[in-house]
Structures are given as C-alpha cells and as structure tokens.
Structure 1
Amino acid sequence: MTSLHTDRVGWRIGDKVVVDGVTLTLRPGETVGLLGPNGSGKSTLLRLLAGVLTPTAGVVTLDGRPLAEVGRRATARRIASVEQHAETQTELTVREVVALGRIPHRRAWTPPTTADLEAVTEALRRTGLTDRSGQSWHTLSGGERQRTQIARALAQEPRELLLDEPTNHLDIQHQLDLLELVASLPVTTVIALHDLNLAAMYCDRLLVLRDGRAVMEGTPAEVLTPDLVERVYGVRTEVTHGPGHPVIRFLRPAARDASPPKRSVTSDGSTAP
C-alpha cells in the first residue's frame, strides 16, 4: 500500500532542470529524509509532492491518482507542508496562525466547529505553544515561528506531512523535541534536513539528491557511508554505528604545511628563497 508516489518526476524553469527524473514511493507511517547540498532540489521536490508545483515531467500520485485529479481542496485535507520561511503582514496571534490549518476542513464563512477548536488546542499543546497562544506572531523568535508553523500543520490533521528544514533556528533541545514529535506522529513524513546525524537518528529511509537527481536511497546505515558523504558533500567523514543508527564524525580538511620555506645561501653569503 502506498500513499504519495513520484514516478520519474521532473521540474524545470527555462533551461534549468531543478528536479530530474526522481522516483520515490512512500509507505504509510514512515519518515523519509531528503538529503543533499544546497541547490540539490530538496525544496522543489517537496513542493511537487504537495501539489504546489506541477511537474514538467513525470507524475505525482496520491493513493494511485494524479494530484491534478485529486484536486486542491482534497489534497490540502491530506497533505500538510511546512516551508523554511513564513511571513505575514497581518496582525495575527499564535492561535490564529495555527487555526489556519483548519481551512481545508471548513466551508467558507462558517464559524469553527468544536472539532476545529480541539484540533488547534491539541496542536498548540504538542508543540509546547499553549502559553504563547495569545501572543502576536510578529513578536516570536525564529524558532518559535517555526514551531507555530508545525502546529498549524498538525491542526490540519494530515496523513502526509512535508517539512522543509524544520530544525532551522531551533536550539539543540528543541531540534530533538521537534523530531521526536514528528517521528511519533501516525503520519507519513518527508523531511528535508542538513544535519546528517539527525537524519540518521529519526528517519526510516533516506533519499540523497545532487543536482536534482537521486543519488542513493535506502536506510541510514545503507546510505550514510564515508564514500557517499564525500561524493555528495565533498567532505571526509568517519562513520561508526551506534545503537540502531550510524554516527557521522566530520574530519577537518588537511592543514596546509605551515613550515617556513627553505632558503638557500648564495655565493655572496646572502640567503634567497
């Protein structure tokens, strides 16, 4: 049984190919990490999965149906997205931002139902924002804004959750708390990450992208090898295997020889390089 699936999906803008022939099958309930350097196509692939972008090649399906056939509103009831940056000029409280996640479940101009209110309250609780619910969005720190967007997505009660670098701006404790929350949710999750160790700890499978193409897919132990990391990221690593997942240690580039250049003595007794 599959939920979201991409079949040789691609997206280009002008002559630039951003995503090139990526196939990915998501199994219900699993957490899949998207890895790759900046510009590798992670964010674009997430937007294709969400239906925000229409593929210029291939197809994205939900339960076997192309997203175009599923429709925007039905897709929004199933799939929630959290992008890297969110801004609004409107003066909203945290609760009001989170309540936006209920829009796909409501008819236009109808008041929120008891189910809407309960979903918002639960999302605030899960993300540790209950005491900030009446605070203005514009007064929040970057990390608090990110958690508010996570809460908005949870209020949507999705079956598929797409997250683009959700740990940006978060301190270590909140990074771990957030990923513990995401991993515990009964949803299918696709999450773009830069931190390879966090990906190893919390993802069931990894898909590595480079220049828009899929380089490798598999479990963290299969994917996160010194050869793969050097080939994709250009850095050397040592990989050990902790309880249940690999642990990556990055190696510093070899130091240049800092010793002073040797000098020779000329016939007149002076020195020269």
Structure 2
Amino acid sequence: MTYEGTDADVGLAAGRVAYAAGGRLIVDGITLAPRPGSTLGLLGPNGSGKSTLLRLLSGVLAPASGVVTLDGTPLPRVGRRETARRLAVVDQHASTQVELTVREVVALGRVPHRRPWSASTAADERAVQEALDRTALADRAGQSWHTLSGGERQRAHIARALAQAPRELLLDEPTNHLDIQHQLDLLNLIASLPVTTVIALHDLNLAAMFCDEILVLKEGRAYAHGTPAEVITEPLIADVYGVRARVTPPADPADPLDHPSVRFLRSPPLPGPTAS
C-alpha cells in the first residue's frame, strides 16, 4: 500500500518532495502527513533516503521540488525562528567542539524561546530540569558532555529536544549506541509524548512496538505505508532488505499494544566444493 498522505493543513506535512545530489535522486516524490500526536516510523535500508527526508522535513535542506509545510504554510514562510520553536531535531551524529556541561547542552533547547542575549527564565530552568529528569541525566547535569558515553550523549540530545517543548519531533536513529534497556526506555518516552514524531529506525521490532504508522522507503521512494501489522511482512522484508525472515502477526490486531514480531533467518550455506 503506497502512502498518499492525509490532511496537510494540520501539523507537519510533505507534498511530493524530491531531493537530488551528485546527479542522483535521493528522495523521489515523497508525500506524508502524520496524524497530530502520532508516531510515524521511517524504515528502509541504508541509502534509502531516511536521513535526507528528515532533513527536508526540518528545513535543513530545501526540496528540489514539492513542499514541506507546518499547518499548511511552507517552511520558508514560517521562518527559521518559529520553525525552531515548533520543531525539534535529534540528529544521528550530533557533536560539538565547545566545552559544555550536560545541563548547558540541554539548555540549548530553550534558545528559540528567548530573545537574543536575554537571560534564562524560571520557565526555562524548569523545562531543562524536567528534560534531565525524564532522560535520567539529572545526576550528570554538571558533568562535561565530552566525558559521556555514546549512549549518554544521545540521551542528552534527546533531553535538549524535550526542553525545546516542540509540537513536532524528528529523530534520526536515536537508539544507536544505547543498550536494550535504554532503547526501550527512550522509545517508551518518545511514544508517550503529546507531540507528532517522525523517527527513522533500523530495528523492525522496535518500529513495530512503538510506531503507530510506518513508511517504508526503498531507493528514495515510498514503498509502503500503514500500521506495523500491515507493513511488516515477510515479502516486504525480502524485497526491501533482501533477507529471509519469519513474521509472527499480532495475536489481537485490535489491541494497540500487540504488534508483529520479526525473526531473521540465516541464509542457507553455500555449496561446498565438489569431489574430483
């Protein structure tokens, strides 16, 4: 089932966006409009266009054709400052050379809400502390960001996005470098937020557990869209990822907490040398 989009006048939407680099179409005519407050997962192999699509949605890249809108208004007309207040982004490889504490990194999320050169307010401090608490980083607040592990750095950037208090949240592989417990904790947190979330993931089982809808990309195009039970199938996995898998469907498709589960299969062994 291909994705045709929904009401583009509410929230974040993209209409037939395309982007090319090096003479190659990386994103080719994608349309999406996640339901406000829902979690939309982007799936697809490396090079399928997931990260580029997220950059188009955030306004970091301008589409060669098509349009990205907030409440029906194209992003260039919304403006950078208002977009930054509305929309938070967590990149896959966010870094900084500046010596900052964890609290200072998280406090960067409040910058779009303050006038230039103005001091932080009590509301800013509360937002930062709540974000630290929700990501289990309160005890690291005074620590240098550079001394954190890869997973802790990722959680700090999640906290920065939460402190921003966005209505839309874009995340590119946020579970990278996280152990299983923190992957589940983080995605439970993201799924519970009253925001519209678009999240690129590699793990099909995590996508099935936490996403309301899934959009599968293949070679820059929308290959399939629907609920996890509709999208995550053995033929799709074989065609998009080129691997064999067994998919166990949800026992109760009407239960929103039930979901399909994927078990990948080893490829058959290569034939041995024939006897001479």
Corresponding residue of 2:265 = 251
Alignment correspondent of 1:21: 29
> Match of 2:266, as an amino acid?
R
The aligned residue for residue 72 of structure 1 is 80
Size of the aligned set, in residue pairs, is 262
Pick which of 1-10 and 40-49 moved more: 1-10
Q: Deviations over 1:49-104 (max 9, x none)?
A: 11111111100011011001100000000000000011111110000000000000
Q: Give the distance between the partners of 1:57 and 1:37, measured in 2 at CA.
A: 24
Contact 2:229/2:250 (8 A) holds in 1:
no
CA RMSD of aligned residues (A): 0.9
- 1:223 paired to 2:231: yes
Structure 2 stretches lacking a partner, 5+ long: 1-6, 252-257
SS at match of 1:8: strand
- Determine the structure 1 residue equivalent to 2:42: 34
Q: Structure 1, residues 152-187: CA drift from partner, whole Å, max 9, x if none?
A: 000000000000000000000000000000000000
Residue 112 of structure 2 is aligned to residue 104 of structure 1:
yes
Q: Which structure has the bigger radius of gyration?
A: 1
User: Could you tell me which residue of structure 1 aligns to residue 4 of structure 2?
Assistant: none
Q: What TM-score do the two structures reach when normalised by structure 2? A: 0.93
| Runs of 4+ with deviation above 4 angstroms | none
Question: What's the offset of the Cα at 1:126?
Answer: 0.3
Instruction: After TM superposition, give the deviation of residue 16 of structure 1 in Å.
Output: 1.5
Q: Structure 1 residue 152 and structure 2 residue 160: aligned?
A: yes
Residue 14 of structure 1 deviates from its aligned partner by 3.8
1:257 deviates by 3.1
Distance 1:14 1:107 in 2: 39
1:143 alignment partner in structure 2: 151
Once the two structures are superposed, residues 194-225 of structure 1 have per-residue CA deviations (whole angstroms, 9 ceiling, x without a partner) of 00000000000000001111100100001000
- 1:175 maps to 183
1:267 maps to what in 2? none
Aligned positions of 1:190-205 closer than 5 A:
190-205=198-213
Question: 1:123 — aligned with what?
Answer: 131
**Residue 261 in 1 paired to residue 263 in 2?**
no
Secondary structure, in 3 states, of the residue corresponding to 1:124?
A: helix
Give the superposition deviation at 1:137. Answer: 0.6
Give the fraction of aligned pairs with identical amino acids, expressed as a percent.
69
